Structure 1
């Protein structure tokens, strides 16, 4: 069993014990910039992949989809896979097929607890610095966050992060150098990008899967539906591929910290043909941010923590989450009050290059007037 440790900003040390399951693979690919040279002796959290079973004493939910208590562990059961947590959330056991992000959210929650004490909050956004201006792009999944980042990197931008980063009440943003989880539509839009695979077998399986997937309708005739099912069942890799931004665009530099000039909320708009940008009020930005955070991590954490508190004596995780989210809301408001905030409607097109959306988003960002520029003009 491999042992890898990760040091997150000096705030949290995590050790992952794995034998090639989804969790150990994703941590290694996604968090490689945080991996330590040698394993940490006394980590704050240990995540261990296991083939053992759990024997619940109390179950909340259906037989194969529930929360449970074994007498020593809080269990999140998801069909054939589970996560088992000792009280205090310092030791987590997961089966090989368990969804990795469901362990990442509690881990990042521990980092968030440290960061809010320093007036910083986690936001689901990409961030770049282009022509001397730093712009953040909060968004729901599928709104074009990664394609926006890639479009601006191609234009010579430096980057804070692709998927999530930290923002401060003082108007700063702190980078989060995670690997980019590239999807086929990202690669189609930027032909200079080539997905990296650990083995030639992985590459062949991926290419065959994508070839079939692009040519059948999973919701069409019975033969097509059956072919789609078999394609996903036997050729799709359930693990995610993460690529370092610096490998995609070597000239792009990672920015550890920057002063924010603009915040542009990306919004998918299937019925429009062009990118449009409009200014929005702080309250609109606050509402959008709350919805995004709730969808990305807080909604799931709240459900986990409510179940945990009801099953574990002296459980207080809901109160801890409330403390963090309330403070983060104050931080977001302080940030938005001091920068220019916009909403961009993005056409939902698979190939950005074919529809010139890569050029359009770059031109839109270059034309933004930050609040600091506006103040200087006045």
Structure 2
């Protein structure tokens, strides 16, 4: 792996082709410049860029504007699945993704939501890593004081703020958003870029975002000023102002940042043995962070819900539509096999480590409310399986 944005090749049509090598398991070529998908791949998967692929790509994702005509449509005119006679179509409000049978070539329009093509790409990595006994979990992960803790959570529960608070206090990191775990108690880092939100920057003011122009910075500052002072849902005027603020001033393009540029002392942990798992749960009425032990069954229920929300639910909808439109389609069956295998891995992991659930107050500024210190203290207080065995 290399970390360089120069690792690209110009195609004959003057479009850039970049290669991403995921653990030697999956080689992906992303073709295009300036669209949402090529931009997000370049920022999010920067650590996996390679300028010397050793083989032809396993998957090609190509940005290509144009019209598409379906023979069959499942859904309404603005949001549907379809079959063109040669390709499976996912259509969403003027943008689309088309997939050749076999899922080895995906075309997207420049404005298509990037994650909608990332989920099937990462599903192929998941399918291949199952053979090595590893499963993908939606979690951040750190090593602090020699102890490795994972933080599975739903979106908005505090994974990134937890990571930043721990990095500020000397932790090393496995990942911010998702990583790989094994039934043997191992974790493998997934060093993706961090997608910082305004509330992350409010909590950790030492992080200085970069802007291309003065106008971009001004727009960000005005949006943040309004966002802090308007509580959407509390009243009709507040809701209207919040909607207009997000519609006209928010930057809808994600900006992923390398963790090492935020905290230079933090090291990227490639592999570690998991000591404990702390599920993060948003608790709007809580005043401070609290944690309690949970059973393997509770951990399994939480993990299944998180995985279904983050990627499996959308994949299941894709694959049901695909199988109904494409002769001989078996993608639902393949998904079920992967999910079963991953659940087996999660169960073995949770049986062997100590699992907790933390209640996280939903405060915009963690530093102001002391949540940054509270989460660090909570993590340092957690027991590992080794310490539990020693006291039994």
How many residues are matched? 378
Partner Cα distance (1:350, 1:211) in 2: 13
Task: Pick one of 122, 125, 129 that aligns with 2:139.
Answer: 125
Task: Pick one of 171, 192, 195 that aligns with 1:181.
Answer: 195
Task: Pick one of 326, 329, 335 that aligns with 1:321.
Answer: 335
Q: Shift in Å at residue 51 of structure 1?
A: 1.3
| Match of residue 98 from structure 1 | 112
Partner Cα distance (2:208, 2:54) in 1: 34
Alignment map for 1:197-346 (pairs within 5 Å): 197-216=211-230, 228-346=242-360
| Match of residue 185 from structure 2 | 171
Q: Deviations over 1:49-73 (max 9, x none)?
A: 1211100000001011100000011
SS in 2 for 1:214: helix
Q: Shift in Å at residue 214 of structure 1?
A: 3.2
SS in 2 for 1:146: helix
Partner Cα distance (2:63, 2:376) in 1: 43
Q: Does 1:71 align with 2:73?
A: no
Q: Shift in Å at residue 16 of structure 1?
A: 1.1
* Counterparts in 2 of 1:312 and 1:366: CA distance versus 1, 3 Å: same
| Match of residue 43 from structure 2 | 29
TM-score, normalised to structure 2, is 0.92
Q: Shift in Å at residue 203 of structure 1?
A: 3.2
Partner Cα distance (1:75, 1:40) in 2: 31
* Counterparts in 2 of 1:51 and 1:11: CA distance versus 1, 3 Å: same
The range that moved more, 162-171 or 42-51, is 42-51
Task: Pick one of 69, 89, 103 that aligns with 1:55.
Answer: 69
Alignment map for 1:363-374 (pairs within 5 Å): 363-374=377-388
Q: Which runs of 5+ in 2 are unaligned?
A: 1-14
Q: Shift in Å at residue 221 of structure 1?
A: 7.2
Q: Shift in Å at residue 192 of structure 1?
A: 0.5
Q: Which runs of 5+ in 1 are unaligned?
A: none
SS in 2 for 1:271: coil
Partner Cα distance (2:243, 2:382) in 1: 45
Task: Pick one of 54, 60, 82 that aligns with 2:96.
Answer: 82
Task: Pick one of 94, 108, 120 that aligns with 2:122.
Answer: 108
SS in 1 for 2:332: helix
Q: Shift in Å at residue 33 of structure 1?
A: 0.6
Q: Shift in Å at residue 377 of structure 1?
A: 3.0
SS in 1 for 2:50: coil
Q: Contact 1:158 / 1:254 at 8 angstroms: preserved in 2? A: yes
Q: Deviations over 1:203-248 (max 9, x none)?
A: 3432333234334455577776665444433332221011111011
SS in 2 for 1:173: strand
Q: Does 1:4 align with 2:18?
A: yes
Q: Contact 1:5 / 1:40 at 8 angstroms: preserved in 2? A: no
* Counterparts in 2 of 1:165 and 1:316: CA distance versus 1, 3 Å: same
Partner Cα distance (2:229, 2:294) in 1: 41
